[in-house]
A = this chain, B = another copy of it.
Amino acid sequence: MTRVQLNPVGWISQLSQGEVTLLTDTANSELYQTFRNCCLAVLNSGVDEDDAEALFAPYESFEVKLVRRERGVKMELINPPEVAFVDGKLIAGVHEHLFSVLRDLLYMHVKYNGIAECEPSEVRRLSDVTATCITDMVFDMLRHADALVGNDDLNTVVCWGGHSIGTEEYRYTKEVGYQLGLREMNICTGCGPGAMKGPMKGAAIGHAKQRFRKGRYIGISEPSIIAAEPPNAIVNELIIMPDIEKRLEAFVRAAHGIVVFPGGVGTAEELLYILGILMHENNAQHPFPLILTGPAASADYFAAIDRFVAATLGPKAQQKYQIIIDDPREVARSMSLGRQKVEQYRRAVGDAFSFNWSLKVDPIFQHRFEPTHEAMAALPIHRDQPIASLAATLRQAFSGIVAGNIKSSTVAQIKQHGRFELSGDPELMTLIDDLLRSFVAQQRMKLPGSKYEPCYIINV
């Protein structure tokens, strides 16, 4: 049995006795299971595998313990994966990530599940919390993760895109990251490989050339998805949000601009999320740099996306983004220009630089959507609703498919009850079907090597 003890990193070294107890009750604690699994995911940093079950299978004997020591609480790993070690020593970045997991899980549990440090009584469920409250909570989680103080230079670029992309696309994401890095912008992604790693690698080189020592490579994840997208060790700030909706809100509130690279259904979910928000009438004047970009070979891909947006959300939605093909320098320059507008706007309305309070986000984008078979079947995929609402619905549909692809509990449901069925306006269903088929054909659903088996049926 291998045992590795890790020195604590940062303030998290200091835990109260109540907090340690929460995470050492291994017998029946759901919190412990989540904690253990997130740690395991983090320890698989750099592994290109998006099948959580396959990833976890070899490590059934893996455990993590907290051990009180003179200088704080150490973490003990039992039978950890070897991949995170170099000559027997844990990679420092991964080491940090483990303590980030500890920090965020403990905080969201103690503060937002209503389980106070001492008396785990009155449980307040996240779902009960009102909309304003959710934004405050997203803010509070980011602040607690120390992600806001350094975020007031208006230089955080969120990069979205697939974890499963081709070599050429990957090289391109590095180039864009490099150009952003040369302009002293930071990168925030959802963790994982592909378009979520490339921009960070590129930016790291750009930052080095600019002697930019405050380079941030932020990864925002959530417990049910981190296993499928373990953070690369370049990520130097890992943040775990409670669920996918809070994670998406964290992205848009922390971002000063977003770049969308080619991707699959998850990327489509993200694009629909931001478009749905930007189309809210309160946000009509809100400047939000949003650039879709890829190498020359991806031109068709973006043309298809653009058509899908036009056909579903209409031309107003198209005006919210800019498509730039094969020009990393232009992407970075355009982001620089957009940043100036963001600065003007925030000054004008008195908004914080570090957190986009003034962006209006409707409750439908904030509350947790649990993709059960019933919920998926009941999605109102039709045109009898405001456009933003349709965007929200489509976002939920795609979110469910992502879950069906990679989230272990949803995968289990599918196995038991069969595929999700989606129904609605035939015209919309056809559009969706076409888009999804193209993702499958382009191998964007899952990493190459396995045959993709859809988790859904589109009833056209």
A→B interface (CB under 8 Å) = 10-11, 13-14, 16-18, 68-72, 86-87, 91-93, 96, 111, 116-119, 122, 124, 129-130, 132-133, 135-137, 139-140, 143, 146, 148-149, 152, 182-183, 201, 204-205, 208-212, 217, 233-234, 236, 333, 336, 346-347, 350-355, 357
Contact = CB atoms under 8 A, between A and B. Distances in A.
Contacts of A139: 14, 16
Contacts of A336: 87
Scoring A17, A69, A86, A136 by chain B CB atoms within 10 A of each residue's CB, the highest score goes to A86
A360 to B, nearest CB: 13
A347 to B, nearest CB: 6
B208 A236 contact: yes
Contacts of A352: 14, 68-72
Contacts of A136: 16-18, 117-118
A61 to B, nearest CB: 26
A87 B333 contact: yes
Contacts of A333: 87
A93 B211 contact: yes
A14 B72 contact: no
Contacts of A91: 182, 209-210
Residue of A117, A146, A201 ringed by the most chain B CB atoms within 10 A:
A117
A92 B210 contact: yes
Q: Which 8 A-B pairs have the closest CB atoms?
A: A118-B133, A209-B233, A92-B211, A16-B136, A92-B210, A14-B148, A93-B209, A86-B182
B117 A133 contact: yes
A152 B205 contact: no
Assembly stoichiometry (copies): 4
A208 B231 CA distance: 14
A234 B182 CA distance: 12
A346 B69 CA distance: 9
A357 B70 CA distance: 11
8 contacts: A18-B133, A70-B152, A70-B347, A71-B354, A86-B182, A93-B208, A117-B133, A209-B234
A149 B351 CA distance: 33
Nearest to A117: B136
A20 to B, nearest CB: 11
Given A70-B351, A210-B93, A146 B11 contact: yes
Contacts of A93: 208-211
A209 to B, nearest CB: 4
Given A16-B139, A182-B86, A182-B91, A234 B211 contact: no
B208 A72 contact: no
A10 B146 CA distance: 11
A117 B129 CA distance: 11
Contacts of A133: 18, 117-119
A139 B14 CA distance: 9
A96 B211 contact: yes
Nearest to A232: B209
Contacts of A116: 124
Given A204-B205, A234-B209, A72 B132 contact: no
Contacts of A143: 11, 14, 16
Contacts of A152: 70-72
A17 B208 contact: no
Given A117-B133, A205-B234, A354 B11 contact: no
A216 to B, nearest CB: 12
A92 B353 CA distance: 25
Given A10-B149, A14-B139, A117-B140, 10 more contacts: A11-B143, A14-B354, A70-B350, A70-B352, A71-B152, A87-B336, A119-B130, A204-B208, A208-B234, A209-B234
